[in-house]
Amino acid sequence: MRLSQYFLPTLRDTPAEAQIVSHRLMLRAGLVRQQAAGIYSWLPLGLRVLRRIEAIVREEQNRAGAIELLMPTLQSAQLWRESGRYDDYGAEMLRIVDRHERDLLYGPTNEEMVTDIFRSTVRSYRDLPLNLYHIQWKFRDEIRPRFGVMRGREFLMKDAYSFDLDEAGARAAYNRMFVAYLNTFARMGLRAVPMRADTGPIGGDLSHEFIILAETGESQVFCDRQLVDMPPPGDVDFRSDLQPIVEARTALYAATEEMHDATRFEREVPEERRLSARGIEVGHIFYFGDKYSKAMNATVHGPDGVERPVQMGSYGIGVSRLVGAVIEASHDEAGIVWPDAIAPFDVAVLNLRAGDGATDAAAQHAYDTLGRSGLEALLDDTAERPGAKFSVMELIGIPWQLVIGPNGLARGVVELRHRASGERHELSLESALSKLGSR
SS3 state at 113: helix
Q: Which of 4, 7, 15, 127 binds RNA (CB under 7 A)?
A: 15
Q: Which is nearer to RNA, 249 or 419 (CB)?
A: 419
279 binds RNA (CB under 7 A): no
The full DSSP string for 146-214 is BTGGGB-SEEEEEEEEEEESSHHHHHHHHHHHHHHHHHHHHHTT--EEEEE---GGG-SS-EEEEEEE-
Q: How far apart are CA 422 and CA 145, in angstroms?
A: 35
Residues from 228 through 257 that contact RNA (CB under 7 A): none
Minimal distance, residue 122 CB to RNA, in Å: 26
Query: Is the backbone peptide bond immediately before 399 cis, with ω within 30 degrees of 0?
Result: no
Q: Which is nearer to RNA, 372 or 385 (CB)?
A: 385
User: Which H or E element spans position 79?
Assistant: helix 77-83
Residue 268 identity: E
Residues from 111 through 150 that contact RNA (CB under 7 A): 140, 142-147, 150
41 binds RNA (CB under 7 A): no
Minimal distance, residue 36 CB to RNA, in Å: 4
Minimal distance, residue 320 CB to RNA, in Å: 6
Residues from 81 through 110 that contact RNA (CB under 7 A): 92
220 binds RNA (CB under 7 A): no
Binding letters toward RNA, positions 377-406, x by CB under 7 A? -------xxxxx-xxx-xx-------xxxx
DSSP-derived pairing of the beta strands 377-380 and 400-404: unpaired
H-type helices in 312-385, by residue range?
A: 319-329, 357-372
Binding letters toward RNA, positions 309-348, x by CB under 7 A? -------x-x-xx------------x--------------
Q: How far apart are CA 317 and CA 182, in angstroms?
A: 12
* Dihedral-angle region of residue 184 (phi above 0 means left; psi in -120 to 50 means alpha; beta otherwise): alpha
Binding-site ranges for RNA (CB under 7 A): 10-17, 19, 28, 34, 36-38, 92, 140, 142-147, 150-153, 155, 157, 209, 218-219, 281-284, 316, 318, 320-321, 334, 352-353, 384-388, 390-392, 394-395, 403-409, 414-415, 417
